[in-house]
Each structure stands twice: as structure tokens, then as C-alpha cells.
Amino acid sequence: MQELFDLAALDDVLERFRGARGTATLRAVRDDHPIGTTGTRHELEERALALFGRHGIPRPAVNATVSTPSGIPFEVDFLWRRERLVLETDGMRFHSTRRQIERDRRKEAELVRAGYRVVRMTWRQIEREPRTVALTLSAALGLS
């Protein structure tokens, strides 16, 4: 299933419901994050980027490709290249089946073999424990 975002449809809804509860907030979010500028693919990644900004975490590369000793390139959610730190964000949608979990662990092992430290955070952690996420990343990045 492809998840496509229709900016024209959003603009149409915002225009039709001008002044309705929530439209000002939605318009502000849309204006603050022009489509295609953050490099994210999922809402969880957007939320993580916002958390980084709120807590002074340096902006990482988003959905970056990392080469590994096996020659298999892996895409990671967030990458701080100089620090060789990877953050993988795990929502239930893409990380809940046995096959997905096994794939994630193979990827993590390859990244560790390539000299990267891998931190994993869940949707719940990013939403409900942002300070803990920020402190963890700050420590991993050598900021604290």
C-alpha cells in the first residue's frame, strides 16, 4: 500500500473549513514543514525531528544510506555521521512481525560491525518520554 500525501487536498480542506477548530494549528504545521524539506517518510520520524529541535539535539541526516563490511548498504532513519551514531525509530507498523524484527537485528549487527553505535527508540518513548530520549541521544553524541 502506498501512502501518498495530497497537499492540494489538504489546502482545499483548510480553505473550506477556514476558522474551524484546529485549522490554524494544521496550517501552522504545514507552513512550518514544507513538503519534501525534512526528508522524513513517516510521522514518527517527523516527531523525532521535532523532539531534536526542542531539545537542542543537532540535526542528523534523515533516511541516510550507510555502507557495511558485507557490502550491503542499509538505510537508517537518522545518522550523525561524525559521531557514527544511528537512531532507528520503531513503530509497530514496520517493526512488529518476526520477519521485520529479524531484519532489524541483522541490520543492527551489520551497522555495529561497520563501527556505528545504534540506538533504538519506540513511538511510545518519543511521545511519552521525550526528555529521556533527548538525554540518551545527548549522551551518545557526547553533548552532556
pLDDT in tens, 64-98: 899 888 888 999 999 999 999 999 997 655 556 78
Considering the domain architecture, whether residues 102 and 131 belong to the same structural domain is answered as yes
Q: What is the pLDDT of residue 134?
A: 96
Pairing of strands 85-90, 117-122: parallel
**Are residues 9 and 79 located together in one domain of the fold?**
no
Q: How many residues does the chain have?
A: 144
Q: Is the pTM of this model over 0.85?
A: no
Residue 134 and residue 64 share a domain: yes
Is residue 19 located within the same domain as residue 74? no
What span, in angstroms and rounded, lies between the C-alpha atoms of 136 and 142?
10
Q: What residues make up the domain containing 8?
A: 1-37
pLDDT, tens digit (0-9, with 9 covering 90-100), for 11-63:
677 777 888 888 887 776 666 555 444 454 567 888 888 899 999 999 999 98
| Domains: count for the chain | 2
Instruction: Tell me how far apart the alpha carbons of residues 102 and 82 are, in angstroms, rounded to a whole number.
Output: 28
At residue 90, what are phi and psi to the nearest 5 degrees?
-115, 105
| C-beta atoms surrounding 62 within 10 Å | 17
